[in-house]
Amino acid sequence: MTDAPAQHTAGFAGQPVIEVERDGVHYTLLGTAHVSRTSIEAVHAAIDSGRFDAIAVELDEQRHKALTQPEALAQLDLVKVIREKKVAPFAANLALAAYQRRLAEQLGIEPGAELKAAATEAAARGLPLQLIDRDVGITFRRILQGLRWWDRMKLVGGVAGSLFAREDVSEDDIERLKEGDMLESSFGEFARDTPSLFATLIDERDQYMAAKLRERADGATRVLAVVGAGHLKGMARYLREETRAPATLTAALAEVRQKRRLPWITLTLLALIAGGIAWGWYHGGHALGRDLLLQWVAWTCGLTALGALLAGANPLSLLAGALVAPFKPFRPGLPSGMFSALVELRLRKPAYPDFLALRDDAQTLRGWYRNRVTRVVLVFMLTNLGTVAGEWMAGARIFGKLLG
């Protein structure tokens, strides 16, 4: 392996550049600000120079399509999203899109426009384009698995809040965005206060993108990589120093731990509820046993139905979730929200205009209820939230009666 030291210079249009040579390939890392017209000019100047035979950008396939093919959202398979339990990452993507739209309205420039320019120019010139960033959904799931329960709730609450925030993005956030990363900025203060989140958002992606650059197999020898300025130093370091095989490294960094089929909290809840009802039936007779069982059914069905009602679900969607809610501990892999959302999707199938309006509607609470795509997401999430609340309330009531 030949390895030349990195050089950090003011490059095209004055934007920072680091150059690294490894294994016969010369990498030029162009650091950009995702909300800067100067960065767009730098991208055009770099590609116009004719120095490069391949272009790489800090995008995954989904974000690339969102930037270059807005109509691609209309091809989204919502049934697949629900069945594969990808509703939470999908909602996180909507939050990111809403944040980007607010920035665009405030600053008069589309966030990530320099990445779009690089991809468009590469296609126009017939240059190979490599999407080197990790899928946002994988990043979001790896973030969640590395956080404690309370921190997960704070993060989910922050993401939900960002969906409907109407105030302007602060000047401090804009300045940080010019020097940092779009995903990090989207998570706001929580990212800066949580080291494990920062590591997943930035450092892991530095490793991933550097490894993806080394994976190239098309014979390119001079590669321009357009990435946020906050990734420059980390990527250059991993390009120089990482010795693990790139395919092995990217696979490890894209892995999301699968939950056990029966998590301990579900087993514990099932044992306590079933044991409490059985104990009450045995020691208190038929009347007490029946009363405890009815408490379980009433609370789980009732609060699940309330969650679906708050989501504006169709009555049949509400009924579907409520009917399966009491059985959730026996089928942890099939949440009640999945049944409600699938029925909702069948009864109120989104039309093409719903997908076209998705980015605009995702910015307001009214838009979430008006758009049939986001309505399905609301039904899924609020129905599940109602079921969880019902389980805890039922458990409290059951043990209150047993201890009373």
Calpha distance 39→117 (Å, rounded): 10
Q: How far is CA 138 from CA 253, 271, 370, in A?
A: 9, 33, 29
Q: How does pLDDT run across 87-102, given as a tens digit for each residue?
A: 877 777 777 777 667 7
Give dist(CA 167, CA 161) in Å, integer. 12
Distance CA 56, CA 331 (A): 44
pLDDT recorded at residue 247: 92
* pLDDT tens, residue by residue, 141-193: 888 777 776 676 666 666 666 555 555 555 555 555 555 556 655 555 555 55
Cα gap 16→229, rounded to integer Å: 7
d(CA 75, CA 78): 9
For residue range 186-215, what is the model confidence (pLDDT) as tens digits?
A: 555 555 556 666 677 788 999 999 999 998
CA dist 333 and 347 (Å) reads 24
pLDDT winner (highest mean) among 7-16, 67-76, 103-112, 324-333: 324-333
How far from the centroid of its chain's Cα atoms is residue 386's Cα?
A: 23
Write down the pLDDT at residue 277.
Answer: 66
* pLDDT value, residue 51: 93
Q: What is the mean pLDDT of residues 314-319?
A: 95
Give whole-number Cα distances, 141 to 92, 156, 381, in Å.
10, 12, 16
Alpha-carbon dihedral sign for residues 230, 133, 227, 40: negative
Mean pLDDT of 229-244: 92
Please report which confidence band the pLDDT of residue 316 belongs to, taking 50, 70 and 90 as the band edges: very high
Instruction: State the pLDDT confidence band at 303, using cuts at 50, 70 and 90.
Output: very high
- Higher-pLDDT residue of 182 and 352 is 352
**Can you read off the two tokens belonging to residue 53?**
């035979």
The CB density around residue 33, as the number of other CB atoms within 10 Å, is: 22
Provide the pLDDT for residue 53: 93
Q: Which amino acid is at 345?
A: L
- pLDDT tens digits along 106-152: 767 777 888 999 999 999 999 999 999 998 888 888 887 777 766 76
Residues 93, 70: Cα–Cα separation, whole Å = 14
| Residues facing residue 227 across a β-bridge | 31
DSSP reduced 3-state for 2: coil
pLDDT score at 279: 67
In the predicted model, is pLDDT for residue 81 greater than 60?
yes
The domain limits of the chain are 3-253, 264-403
What is the predicted pLDDT for the residue at 3?
A: 44
How confident is the model at residue 182, as a pLDDT? 60
| Confidence at residue 117, expressed as pLDDT on a 0 to 100 scale | 93
Q: Give 364-402 pLDDT, tens digit per residue.
A: 788 889 999 889 989 998 999 999 899 888 878 777 766
Q: Is the pLDDT of residue 262 over 60?
A: no
Say what the pLDDT of residue 4 is: 43
Closest by alpha carbon to 177, among 254, 78, 107? 107
